[in-house]
Amino acid sequence: MENKKVRTLLLALAVLLTSVNANSMTSLHKDGKSIAPGGCQLFPSNNFWNMPVDTLPVHALSPAWVTTIGANTGFHMDFGSGTWDGGPIGIPFNLVSGSQTPKYTVDFYYPTESDPGPYPIPQNPKIEYGSDHHILTIDTDDCKLYEIFDAQKNGAQWSAGSGAVWDLNSNALRPDGWTSADAAGLPILPGLARYDEVAAGKIEHALRFTTDCTANYYIWPARHVAQHGTCATTRVPFGARFRLKANYDISGFSPQARVILQAMKTYGIVLADNGSPWFVSGVPDENWDNDVLHELDVVTGNNFEAVDTTYLTPWVFSDVPGSHWAWQYIERLYNAGITGGCVTQPTLQYCPTATVSRAQMAIFLLRGLHGRDYVPPAASGTLFGDVSAASFAAAWIEQLANEGITSGCGNGNYCPNQAVTRSQMAVFLLRAKHGSAYVPPTASGTRFGDIPASYPTAAWIEELAAENITGGCGGVNYCPANPVTRDQMSVFLVRVFSLP
């Protein structure tokens, strides 16, 4: 009899568990706050979506962007309970065990910017009602997020516009220029308001929103352009982030509305797609109180400000993103203590396309030779006629000469403010690497089309190439008279000094 009761209880529990809405299956903090649908975090805590922006400076284009979207336009929570126009309100998601769910190779009409998959799609997936037909799925086996735009099934075959697969434990972005299931090339799910978060009392991430006049460029972490709309004012790029102003009084709103508004103050909202202005995205849930959500209709664009998110970028210098061809070399140079950048305020910058002066070259080379903590002896001011003891980098310039790496530019001068040419650079680098007495092998005149054997520094240039420090400037040329830029210099220094 007791065994029969136990079996009955277990059966009832199993029925209850299988009837739970997938959108409410979440792991909880010890304090009861939701963190992870299906036990999977929605990206690391230092991910763009999860970083607070309440202390970031206001973006210089904030007034213009707010005007474009609509300073007097009210906000709309584009999610809720029940149905609208025949379907659920919002963007749902699915939780599946990938090992127990059919997987499909989806036929994309943007295949070159879509991840091939395969995509786990349950038999009757929750799919966004309306024109976009998003299917969002978390595979709880390995915490991968699969997102599909414009999904349709014809017989046994799924087709869609585009698709993206996201590792929820990684901050990796789409390749530069690629879309995702969202126009901005961003994931959708981490930007959705979920009822379980509101019920727990706190939303700890930014929210996704749309507008109807977007720019032909994007800002980090967006990766894709889909310019839309006609407007006479400044267009707004995908990736732009706004926050509810700190002085906006939210005390008169219902408790659940306050949770959403506080998230907008702390984490802000991110422009991720074309659509109606100030429409904020969320997950449909029968627990939403639509009247409470409509309390937020009184909030307008004037109550928001755009923030400067360059402070959140994962790379060291705000002007050298991961898409820059030399960013890894530049960051290695920084990590080695050879450069601290060119500008420190309001953000740390490297000025990658600026030319390198001969004075700056002296500092770069001596730090590469002797390490980040090296300090040269005090300058005498007598070695070069154009370098007084008070001149910028005077001590570095004199020490470079004392170590036999330079003898100046001629006539007793150093020419500290002149840009270093690629010809001069070859000599500087090889003397720094091999010592002041080094003499390179005789030039053949066949390595570069613009460097005959008779060129004054031909032997140095050919040896620089032979040691795989340079491959030239493009084609079969070296461009010896061209000035060296700071991004090029980072590559040369990392290779010469074998910086980690």
Note if the pTM is more than 0.75. Answer: no
Mean pLDDT per 10-residue segment, the chain (500 residues): 36 33 42 65 94 95 96 98 96 97 97 97 96 96 97 96 96 92 97 97 97 93 92 90 98 98 98 98 98 98 95 85 90 95 86 97 97 96 97 97 96 97 97 96 98 98 97 96 98 96
Q: List, in sequence order, every residue forming a beta bridge with 209; answer none if it has no partner.
A: 271, 280
Residue 390 · residue 382 · CB < 8 Å: no
C-alpha to C-alpha distance for 421 and 405, rounded to whole angstroms:
15
DSSP character at residue 214:
E
Q: What one-character-per-residue DSSP string does 51-79 give?
A: S--TTSPBPTTHHHHHHHH-TTPBPEEE-
Q: Of 318, 309, 188, nearest to 242 (Cα)? A: 309
Identity at 450, one-letter amino acid code: D
**Cβ atoms of 208 and 158 closer than 8 Å:** no
For β-strands 214-218 and 144-149, DSSP reports them as: unpaired
Q: Which string of DSSP letters, residue by residue, matches 104-167?
A: E--EESSGGGS----EE--SS----SSSS--EEEEETTTTEEEEEES-EEETTEEEESEEEEEE
Residue 336 in 3-state DSSP? coil
**pLDDT confidence of residue 193:** 98
Q: What is the pLDDT of residue 36?
A: 76
Q: What are phi and psi of 112, to 5 degrees?
A: -75, -15
Distance, CA of 53 to CA of 205 (rounded, Å): 10
The bridge status of strand 87-88 relative to strand 83-84 is: antiparallel
Cβ atoms of 195 and 288 closer than 8 Å: yes
- At residue 455, the pLDDT reads 98
Alpha-carbon distance 166 to 158, whole Å?
19
pLDDT at residue number 35 = 53
Neighbours of 86 (CB within 10 A): 7
For residue 214, how many other CB atoms are within 10 A of its CB? 27
